[in-house]
Structure 1
């Protein structure tokens, strides 16, 4: 079978590692005090929500160790 060979210039891959741009990016803007306060308040709100859901959810996940509850279930099964 005839196989068509195409020349593929792989030199661009090697040149990409050495390429340095002469264009400098614009300087980063400094965050203002209000932006910093906004970000910290959002972070604190998220953390407080997670902690609150954990505190409210743990009693629902725990196994009840109430002795009166176990006596009621034993009486119900004994009939």
Structure 2
């Protein structure tokens, strides 16, 4: 296996392509880009449902796992 091969990092390459199409080109210098703009692009990307997460967004899937942990009593000792 060659982990540096783009063909073996499909989800990562797809995500990078989406960000480039939305105003963050590959060669971008992030220093002059306002944090608000970067946050907007990343928030947009993180709110897209994923097939690998059962068509939930990452935050929806995370909250589902948190709820399941509470139901099992796994998080009660943290609060």
TM-score, normalising length: structure 1: 0.26
Higher RCO structure (Cα 8 Å, ≥6 apart): 2
Q: Which one has the largest radius of gyration?
A: 1
